[in-house]
Amino acid sequence: MAGFMGRLKDRLSKTRGNLVGNVKKIVTGRSIDDAMFDDLEETLIASDMGVETTLSIVDELRDRVKSDKLKNAEDLYGALKDALRKRLAEGDHTINWTSNNGPHITLIAGVNGSGKTTTTGKLAAKLAGENRKVLLGAADTFRAAAVEQLMIWSDRAKVDIIKHGEGADPASVAFDATDAALARNVDNLLIDTAGRLHTKVNLMEELKKIQRVVQKRHPGAPHEVLLVLDATTGQNGLVQARQFTEALHVTGIILTKLDGTAKGGMAFAIQQQLGISIKYIGVGEGIDDLQPFDPDEFVDALFEEA
Amino acid sequence: MFESLSQKLDSAFKSIRGQGRLTEKNMKDGLQEIRMALLEADVNYKVVKKFMAEVLEAAEGQKVLESIHPGQQIVKIVHDELIKLMGEKNEPLRMADKAPTIIMMVGLQGQGKTTTSGKLALKLKKSGRKPLLVGADVYRPAAIQQLEVVAKQAGVESFSLGTNANPVDICLMARGEAQMRGCDVIILDTAGRLHVDDQMMNEVRQIATQVNPTEILFVANAMTGQDAVSSAKQFNDVLPLTGVVLTQMDGDARGGAAISLIEVTGCPVKFVGTGEKLEALDAFHPNRMADQILGMGDVVSLVEKAQEVVDQEEAIKFQKKARKGEMNLEDFLKQMQQVKKMGNMADLMSKIPGMSKMMPADAMDQAEDEIKYVEAMIYSMTPLERKKPRIINGSRRKRIAAGSGTSVQQVNGLIKEFDKMKKMMKKMMRGGKGGKRMRGMAGPPPGLGR
Ligand SMILES: Nc1nc2c(ncn2[C@@H]2O[C@H](COP(=O)(O)OP(=O)(O)OP(=O)(O)O)[C@@H](O)[C@H]2O)c(=O)[nH]1
Ligand SMILES: [Mg+2]
């Protein structure tokens, strides 16, 4: 566990460095006044938390100043940490990968380039590493070489893959994959889908159809529908989450590319405004660069002294 | 629901509109609304700060115009400042004096570099150049295959050395390869990389110094948030960037990243990606982008796009026929195929101001579905039936319905709709004005005429 903590902190060091650095700078030796709150507000905005979440956090801090009679700006540091932790702790950030009735099926969806295929590969490796029998479904039949990309991941993770040719009906791939999962009695089926903008009604209908087909073939499935979100995404991430949730029974979010400098403020906005929880975070392009999302660790890592 | 930036600004100005005068106080409220709207549109907060200071300065010096609403006055000021920030006009692609022109695509992972490379290749091919697409992403699984497929789709040459080669070598060898194949433009598709990954940034720097590209385009997604500033800055520090390409502009992201990117890199946005098809790459027009941000729509670019796709001669022939009321189902089919070439109808419609409000997205989608049915029905007609729809009697209708997998009612509907449209077109074309403005567009697509 220490290893994991260290790794996460390491990966998030950029995030932590920036936010902590800023927050520390803002509170150190300052008196609590409007100018200080303005600076704090800017720092939170800069993390892509969004205007609404930011304002609600700043309001909460202002209240804390009154109720707890805080005089010293440095005391706000703890209050901010509390406020952030509280907002993430509302959700369930775990996934139960076991189904008590046949294969456990997961649908992976998201906008173009968010990291779906890579995440599918990482998840396959993770589950296979837990001695589960894993199968992949290559339902991105649209993007050039998408199937080849997932095939390479199936090799890396040493798991089987169900695929049709490019241009095939993705729903029929999903159906066949579900069929195969049942026939081969696998533990987990992960279905990678094509990237699509949430504004394209026909493509969202296609996703719904994929979900329907899986459900029909294996009642109760898909057990998880994971939305893959790029952490560099700004406020549109919230719109994406909302639209995908309207189309599918989204059960959780995977936040990718947290190894960059994007601060992942979306995690707060999405949890708070939509009640959808982050389940895993992507912290690199390697097969092991996937970590369970833990709100406490996340906030701690965000605030720990460098 | 989430409002677009333009809607946000609209409502911001509504609150001060009608007050008659532009006072310091009501301008302050309006500007605060703009500031929030820009932040929610993902313009970086530092850029917003600077921009708002400029707007305030520009506004403060101005006299209150009694003749217009204070809102309009501020809209004009903000609009002008936005254009100033984005550059006054569209910057075309630089071409080397002596071939080959080398265009290098760089950016973070998953931004759309490979697709954009293909789009650019197709555009250049259409303008008479001979591009060579070079696959220099040896890291992402199947990235090279993706580029090869894209090259095939675009009908252009491609070159790569597999995943064991060094990207710098690949790019260096591309020059000779281009010469051998008679290509005059080289497009280097490099791997996506993090700006904080020193090793990878060093690689991309090496490529740039050794190959000396004519253009280095930073490809970024229109949905990018506040962090656009840090990544763009780092790339710009390491590489002499010459332009920005903004992808996924067909979504509903407010695209504030564009403003951040321009501000940070000092480079113009040269293209915007507007769809997954290879044709979906448009020139960036600062003026229109400012219009779009402020809710004035993008009609000009829509019309231009239509003109590019539609065969001019066909269109003129069609117009003549339409004016005389001689249009037949054969023409109708051709027109529809032209419309389809223009890409996703919803994308097009969303460019017309107010259209997205008037027509919900699923209605537009239905319209696309309808096109499919209409096509199938016309395909099931004999050439004579297409030329003389009058002869399509009951038994013919039954045959057409069976052949196209539709119902007789649908066939009836098509013929009725077609008749109505023919009359309407005749009137419209004679009217002159409407016909002139939408020249090349050749009439409304079926299903939208109602
Ligand atoms: N740095 C970093 N890169 C990532 C991460 N996850 C994915 N990527 C990269 O992001 C790019 C896009 O990832 P893909 O998995 O192909 O994304 P996708 O959503 O399947 O893309 P489409 O199917 O084209 O919509 C690739 O270059 C990946 O290597 C991450 O956590 N960190
Ligand atoms: Mg994919």
Q: Where are the domains of chain B?
A: 5-86, 101-296, 304-437
Residue keyed to tokens 């023409």: B331
Q: What pLDDT was estimated at residue A195?
A: 97
Kindly report the CA angle at B413 between B410 and B419, in degrees rounded to 5? Answer: 145
Tell me the C-alpha distance between B85 and B81, whole Å. 6
Tokens coding B352? 């017309």
Give the residue from A296, A299, A292, A229 showing the smallest Cα distance to A95. Answer: A292
The DSSP bridge pattern shows strands A224-230 and A160-162 to be unpaired
Q: Which of B85-99, B279-293, B376-390 has the highest mean pLDDT?
A: B85-99
Partner A, chain B 236-295, Cβ-Cβ below 8 Å: 248, 250-254, 256-257, 276
Query: Is 90 exceeded by the pLDDT of residue B435?
Result: no
Is residue A96 exposed (0-12), middle (13-18) or buried (19+ Cβ within 10 Å)?
exposed
Least confident of B184-198, B316-330, B402-416: B316-330
Query: What pLDDT score was predicted for residue A21?
Result: 59
Per-residue pLDDT tens for B12-62? 566 555 555 566 676 777 787 778 878 888 999 999 999 988 888 887 766
Distances B85 to A97, B79, B256, B259 between C-alpha atoms, Å: 51, 10, 12, 8
B109 in ligand 1 pocket by Cβ < 6 Å? yes
Joined together, the tokens standing for residue A188 give: 């987990």
The alpha carbons of chain A give a radius of gyration, in whole angstroms, of 21
Q: Answer yes or no: is the C-beta of A102 below 6 A from any ligand 1 atom.
A: no
A195 lines ligand 1 (CB under 6 A): yes
Looking at the predicted structure, is the pLDDT value of residue B191 above 90?
yes
Work out the percent of chain A whose per-residue pLDDT is above 90.
63
Is pTM beyond 0.80? Reply is no
SS3 B397: helix
CA of residue A146 to ligand 2 center, whole Å: 6
Rounded to 5 degrees, φ, ψ at B210 are: -80, -30
Q: What is the greatest pairwise CA distance in chain B?
A: 76
Tens of pLDDT, residue by residue over A22-68, are: 677 777 778 888 888 988 888 889 889 898 889 999 999 999 999 98
Look up residue B405 and give its two tokens: 């997998």
Report pLDDT for B311: 53
Mean pLDDT of A297-306: 57
Buried b (16+ CB within 10 A) or exposed e, B244-269: bbbbbbbbbbbbbbbbbbbbbbebbb
For the domain A104-250, what is the CATH code?
A: 3.40.50.300
- Give mean pLDDT, residues B117-125: 98
Distance from CA of B362 to the nearest CA of A (A): 6
Q: Which fold has domain B304-437?
A: 434 Repressor (Amino-terminal Domain) (1.10.260)
Which ligand is in closest contact with the Cα of A122?
Answer: 1
pLDDT of residue A242: 95
Specify the 3-state DSSP secondary structure of B137: coil
More confident of the two residues B67 and B159:
B159
In this predicted structure, the answer to whether residue A134 has a pLDDT above a threshold of 50 is: yes
At residue B186, the 3 state secondary structure works out as strand
* pLDDT of amino acid B366: 65
CATH H superfamily, domain B101-296: P-loop containing nucleotide triphosphate hydrolases (3.40.50.300)
- The model's pLDDT over B292-303, given as tens digits with 9 standing for 90+, comes to 666 554 334 443
Domain boundaries along the sequence of chain A = 2-89, 104-250
- Which of the listed residues B108, B109, B231 should we mutate to test ligand 1's pocket, taking the one with most ligand atoms within 8 A of CB? B109
Ligand 1 pocket, A118 CB below 6 A? yes
CA distance A206 to chain B (A): 13
Question: Using the beta-carbon criterion (under 8 Å), do A47 and B226 form an inter-chain contact?
Answer: yes
Q: What percent of chain B has pLDDT over 90?
A: 44
Measured between alpha carbons, how far is B39 from B276 in angstroms, rounded to an integer? 28
Q: Are A91 and A84 in contact (CB under 8 A)?
A: no
Write down the pLDDT at residue B340. Answer: 63
Is residue A292 predicted with pLDDT exceeding 90? yes
Choosing among B36, B115, B221, B259, which should be mutated to test the A contact, i.e. which has the most A CBs within 10 A? B221
Residue B333's pLDDT band (cuts 50, 70, 90): confident
Interface test with A, best of B4, B116, B194, B250 (most A CBs within 10 A): B194
Residues B209-263 pLDDT 10s: 999 999 999 999 999 999 999 999 999 999 999 999 999 998 888 788 999 999 9
Lowest mean pLDDT among A227-241, A242-256, B349-363, B427-441: B427-441
Residue B1 CB coordination number (10 Å)? 7
The torsion region of residue A115 among left (phi > 0), alpha (psi -120 to 50) and beta comes to left
8 Å CB contact between A103 and A159: no
Give whole-number Cα distances, B173 to A191, B125, B149, B159, B170, in Å.
Answer: 39, 22, 21, 9, 5
Q: Is A291 in the pocket of ligand 1 (CB under 6 A)?
A: no
CATH match for B5-86 among 3.40.430.10, 1.20.120.140, 3.40.50.720, 1.10.10.10: 1.20.120.140
- C-beta of A286 in contact with ligand 1 (< 6 A): no
Nearest chain A alpha carbon to B149: A144
Residues 88-117 of B with CB under 8 A from A: 108-112, 114
A117 C-alpha to center of ligand 1: Å? 7
Matching CATH number, A2-89, of 3.40.50.720, 3.40.630.30, 1.20.120.140, 3.10.20.310: 1.20.120.140
Res. B361: pLDDT tops 60: no
Q: Is residue B168 pLDDT above 90, yes or no? A: yes
In this complex, do B227 and A142 lie within 8 Å of one another by their Cβ atoms? no
